[in-house]
Each structure stands twice: as C-alpha cells, then as structure tokens.
Chain A
Amino acid sequence: MSLGKLAERLLHLVPVLLGVSVIVFLMMALTPGDPVDIMIGDQNVTPEQEQAMREDLGLDLPVHRQFFVFLGNAVQGDFGTSFYHRRPVLDVIVERLPATIELSLVALIIALVTAIPLGVLAAIRRNSILDKMATVGSLLGVSLPGFWFGILLLMLFAVHLQLLPVSGRIGFDSEIEPITHFLLIDTLLRGRPDAFWDAFKHILLPAITLGLPMTAILMRVTRTSMLEVMRQDYIVFAEAKGLKRGRILFRHALKNALIPTVSVAAIETGSLLGGNMIVETVFGWPGLGRLVVESVFLRNYPLVQAAVLFYAVTYVLLNFIADILYTTLNPRVKL
C-alpha cells in the first residue's frame, strides 16, 4: 500500500472523530445531574462560591460555546481539567492507560492462542464430541455477561480455592519502580520473577473474563473458514501431491482460513476496550475503564469526553489495521 493511500485512510479519521465528539458532548450536556452539585455534596457553600466554581470550570457558558471551547482545546491536546482530580484530563488518562492496554493485550493473546487451535480442531474433527462441545462452549462464551462470569471466577478461584487474588494489579509486597508501566514486563526488567508471578496471578482472571466473548467469536470464525477452505480444490490438489497432513493443514489451509479470523480479531479488539469498563470494575483493576465508570457517576464531563474520544480513535485505528492485515495475508487484494 502506498503512503498516499495510507494518508488518505488516516484522513477519514477526521470526520469520524468530529462526529463522535459532538455526540459525546451532547450526551453529557443533556444528562440530568449537575457536576457542581455533586462536588459540593453536603458541604456548606455560599452561592458566590458556587458561581465561582462554575466559572472556573467553564460551566457558566451556553452549551454550544462550551462545545467549541472543548473542541478548540482538544485539537491542541488539552482536554480540560478533570473536575474530580483537579488535574489535566490527559494526565489522568495516560496514567491509567497502561493497565488497560496490558489487560487487553493479555486478553487478546489468551483469545488467539485458544480460539485458533480449537477452531481448527473443531473443523477437522467436524461433528465429533469435541466439535459439539466447542460449539456449545462458544455459544456460552458470547452469551454469558462479563460481570456474572467474572464474579463466578472470583468466587471459585479467589474466594473458595484462594488460589488467585481478588482484585488489583499487583500485591503490596511486589510493588516495583515502573519502567514501561506494563507490570508483566517491568517486573522482569527489574529482575523480580516473584513479582512477575504475582502480577500474572492478578491479571489472569480479568483477562480470561475479558477475552471470553472474543475467544468464542474467533473460534467460530476460524472453524467456519477452515471448513470452507478444506473443501477447496487446492486442498485436494495438495493431497494429490502427497504432502504431509501437517503441511496441508497449517500451510495450505490455515494460511487461507486465517484471513477472516485476523480481520475479525483486529476489529473485536475494539470491543475489548468496551468490555474493560465492566471487567475492570468487577476486578478492581485500576485502568481506564474503571476510571470512565467512576467519572460517569461523578458527572466528570471532560474526562468522559476525552476517554470516549480515545475509544473512538482506537476503534477506527483498529479497523484500519484490520484492512492492512487483510491485504498482507491475502495476496489477491490490493488496498
């Protein structure tokens, strides 16, 4: 793909982001509940102090002016001040981001390494017990609500068996000086395998919960496309060539069957971010998802706006990556 095409695709981002920012802004502005009231709570505040707070936060302006102020600042990387934290929104988000990205990546890896082999196995042993179990399992996987499945895992592994911790990213004893802010990497860089193990135990349940629906979907996609590919003439021809079964399955069949799987995986990674809000709340994971949930309750407009914009950018970028991967894997398609 040429650089020009790449730039053109990136330019498509602009209208999408503008649209998202309008919607996000209106949603927050039209939601009942006043942030200043919430911040004041039961404290005794004079009307003058309340008015000063409003002016300070820019909430005294008409709604459309508030939007343009927001947009103008956002373009310059200034998403305003978090009402609650009293710090720049961007700082707060960047602080929480590594936890969320780490969780999402681990969930993605778990999904890929379980879904693809299972999908292939279900396809080549079509209608076997294993295939049927995988079908039922994937149906459960997409239909079980994350909060319920997460709590179930917690009750079993953390409460009853006490094998894994209940919440957080890492135990108090294992805290280390951050380098990349990805704990699984930092603990190893600092030469603390014990801390790595601790961080791993913390991330396991939330990552499984988060990755479950994706695993189910990817398994179905892999199985279906593998079945489709195995019926093709080029597989018969590969057999006629007297090639080993492993080579036929993994080189001839899987390379073609993975084309849809990889595209779906890239797009579904976007939905991992959405799933993060629930999973992070259930497992007390200090990431962006939980921050957004808290901020919604606190009517912390600037933070929610910035976070949703971030989700939108990521989603569009992932779609973009899906397209690139599709063309890389499929030599017949040129973008």
Chain B
Amino acid sequence: MSRNENLLEVDGLRTVFDTSEGVVRAVDGVDVTVRRGECLGVVGESGSGKSVTFSSVMGLVRSPGRIESGAIRFEGQDLTRLSTREMRAIRGRDISMTMQDALTALNPALTVGEQLSEMLDAHDDDLPARGAARRRAIRDKSVEMLRLVGIPSPDSRLGQYPHEFSGGMRQRIMIAIALAPGPKLLIADEPTTALDVTIQAQVLELISDIRARLGMSVVLITHDLGVVAEHCDRVMVMYAGQVVEEGSTVDVISNPQHPYTRGLLGSIPRLSLRGKPIRPIQGQVPNLVGLPPQCRFYSRCPERTDACLQSVEMRSVGPDRRARCIALTQEEVA
C-alpha cells in the first residue's frame, strides 16, 4: 500500500436526517483532507455540520440519520464500505474520538480504571495474550496513560468513579482513554467548551503536546477561532452543512476570503480593537430542510448581490486555499 501523505480523505459526503418535517441535509457535499501529523481545525456555529461530518467518519451516525453518499477514505480504505465488525476494529484503534462533555461521556457506573482498560483490552495488540500477565500489563499501561495526561497518583485513582474527579481531570481521563491504543487520528469534538478558561488552555496544551510526541493527526472541532489560531496547521470553516473556506491557519485568519469567515473573525473581542464595537453576524443559520439552490449565507451576508442567488461551488483561491463565494470568482476572472 502506498504511503499516501493524506491520512483521511472525505469526498462529497452527504449525511441526512429523515425527520417528520422533511430531510435535514446536515452535511451536504463536504470534502475533508487530513494529512499525516497535522492538526486540522474545523470551525462553525452550532448546526453547521462539523460534528455530524466527523460522526460520519467514525461510523456513528444513528437512525434517523444516514450517510446518503460520499466516500470516506482512511489510509486509502473506504470506510463506508466496511462491515460493522471491520469498522469497530478501526474505531478506537486507528481513529479515536473525545466528546464535548466528559461528565456525560464517561460512564457513571463504571470505574475510570475499567473504562480505560477495556479500551486497551479491545485494541492493544502488544499486550500478552491472556491471563494474569495480560491483566497486569493492562493495569500498568492504564497507570502510564493517566500519568501521561497529568493525573496525580494515578495508581490509586484507577478504582474511582468519574464523579470523584474535577471537570478538567475528567477531560484528561477521556483523552487518556482515546489515546490509549495509540490512534493515528484523534477527533477532538469541542474539547474545551465545557471547561473553565484556565483549564481549557491546559487541555489544549496537553493535546498539542501528545500529538507532537506520538506523531498523530488531530481534528480539532471548535467554534473558537482563537483556539484554532494557536493550535492548528490548517483550518476548515463550515456553514450550514457545507465547507465555505479552507486553507492554512495563517492565511485564513490574516486574509479571510469568505464573508462568513470575516464575520466570525469580526465577532471575536480583541484588546487591540478596544473601544470599537464587536460586530456579530446578524441573523441565524438557515433551516436545513428544503434549502433553495443559492449561497447558504445569502440571508446573513453583508456583501450579497443578486448574483448570489445561484448555487456556488468551492473555488481554488490560491495554493492550498479554497473558498465558496461567487464574488471571489468574479474578482479572479476579472
């Protein structure tokens, strides 16, 4: 197998939810590329489809949701064609995920040690085959993982339940569980949203640190462009089920091409702009049922023209740089 530079390639993914009001097109033709060893930031408001995109990658979309079309290639293998059993072997082992709120993501009735060791038991091939040696190896590895994420006196804390830890500690434990089998890709879904600001920085440092040490790729799903600026190599901005802009973090933040990205950057409070009002984006994300074939940002866009009332494709706007805005092409062409 050729060692492709791209670890994950998603092509034209469409994930829909069948509801009583109609088909909700939560992810509508999304392309994603994650390279080996990089950190990709995925930014968007609630309902932009960023979490559903990566639930689809994990094969975790549940009824009434379904993947309508598209390919999800991980190391060249199309995950949408795998059986349940084959997909289960990839989840956790190759692609791992952390969830927004560790309090609800950790099972309240099982000890932290059990939740960590079952992950190792399911996926770690380096352990002794069975018996006491295997149990001891799992325990040692569990302690090692807790130490890696900075839990003090990990040995004695394996027998405790999630509610006996603080919010930041729980987040670290969830990260320890996700990283235990040494995955190639970590999908961190809003890893800091549920945390205090001081703890947020620690947890993000931890993820960056471990990424560098283990050489894995990270997808950081967030709605905080500040987090992306600090930790991600590239960024992908999503709006209403579509990607609207992507490129290297520096380029996108210093020279945003899509009005929505500009809007997102304008709504961040900054000390350098003290005294000037924050400019939030007006309006709301459109209802994803029966969208007309026009630019999805049309109703909220401060730069809209009649030309925006047709469907807009992603366009290349420079090396490794794409955006979805009709105005861009016109400028480029002109």
Contacts and interface: CB of A to CB of B under 8 A. Distances in A.
A237 B110 CA distance: 13
A15 B108 CA distance: 37
A132 B280 CA distance: 50
B96 interface: yes
Contacts of A238: 107
A233 B122 CA distance: 20
Interface in B64-110: 88-93, 96-97, 99, 101, 104-110
A12 interface: no
Interface stretch (A97-105, A180-188, A251-259): A251-259
B243 interface: no
Nearest to A240: B97
Contacts of A329: 109
A241 B177 CA distance: 8
Interface residues on B, range: 20 to 34
Contacts of B92: 240-243
B122 A244 contact: yes
Given A236-B60, A331-B161, A332-B163, A241 B91 contact: yes
A331 B115 CA distance: 15
Contact of B89 (A233, A242, A247, A332): A242
A252 B60 contact: no
Nearest to B189: A240
Given A237-B99, A247-B118, A332-B163, A242 B110 contact: no
A239 B105 CA distance: 11
Contacts of B177: 241
A244 B60 contact: no
**Residue among B89, B108, B119, B122 facing the most chain A CB atoms (10 A cut-off):** B108
A241 B109 contact: no
A234 B89 CA distance: 19
B108 A239 contact: no
Contacts of B122: 241-244
Given A247-B118, A331-B161, A242 B123 contact: yes
B110 A252 contact: yes
A243 B88 CA distance: 7
A237 B92 CA distance: 10
Contacts of B106: 234, 237
A239 to B, nearest CB: 6
A330 interface: yes
B58 interface: yes
A49 interface: no
A256 B118 contact: no
Contacts of B105: 233-234, 236-237
Contact of A331 (B89, B108, B119): B108
A24 B97 CA distance: 62
A43 interface: no
Interface string B178-200: 10000000000000000000000
Interface string A308-334: 000000000000000000000111100
Nearest to A233: B104
A46 interface: no
A239 B109 CA distance: 17
Nearest to A254: B109
A256 B60 contact: no
A233 B107 CA distance: 9
Contacts of B163: 331-332
A232 interface: yes
Contact of A243 (B60, B96, B101, B118): B118
Contact of B91 (A233, A240, A255, A259): A240
Contacts of B89: 242
Nearest to B180: A241
A259 B99 CA distance: 25
Contacts of B93: 242
Contacts of A242: 88-93, 122-123
Interface string A224-240: 00000000111011111
B182 to A, nearest CB: 13
A260 B56 CA distance: 33
A331 to B, nearest CB: 4
Given A242-B123, A243-B122, A330 B109 contact: yes
Contact of A256 (B97, B108, B119): B108
Contacts of A240: 58, 60, 91-92, 96-97, 99
28 contacts: A233-B104, A234-B104, A234-B105, A234-B106, A236-B105, A237-B97, A237-B105, A237-B106, A238-B107, A239-B60, A240-B60, A240-B97, A240-B99, A241-B122, A241-B178, A242-B91, A243-B118, A243-B119, A244-B122, A251-B110, A255-B110, A256-B109, A329-B109, A330-B109, A331-B108, A331-B161, A332-B161, A332-B163
Given A329-B109, A331-B163, 4 more contacts: A237-B97, A238-B107, A240-B96, A330-B109
- Ranked 4 nearest A-B pairs via Cβ: A242-B92, A242-B91, A233-B104, A237-B105
Interface of B: 58, 60, 88-93, 96-97, 99, 101, 104-110, 118-119, 122-123, 161, 163, 174, 177-178
Interface of A: 232-234, 236-244, 247, 251-252, 255-256, 259, 329-332
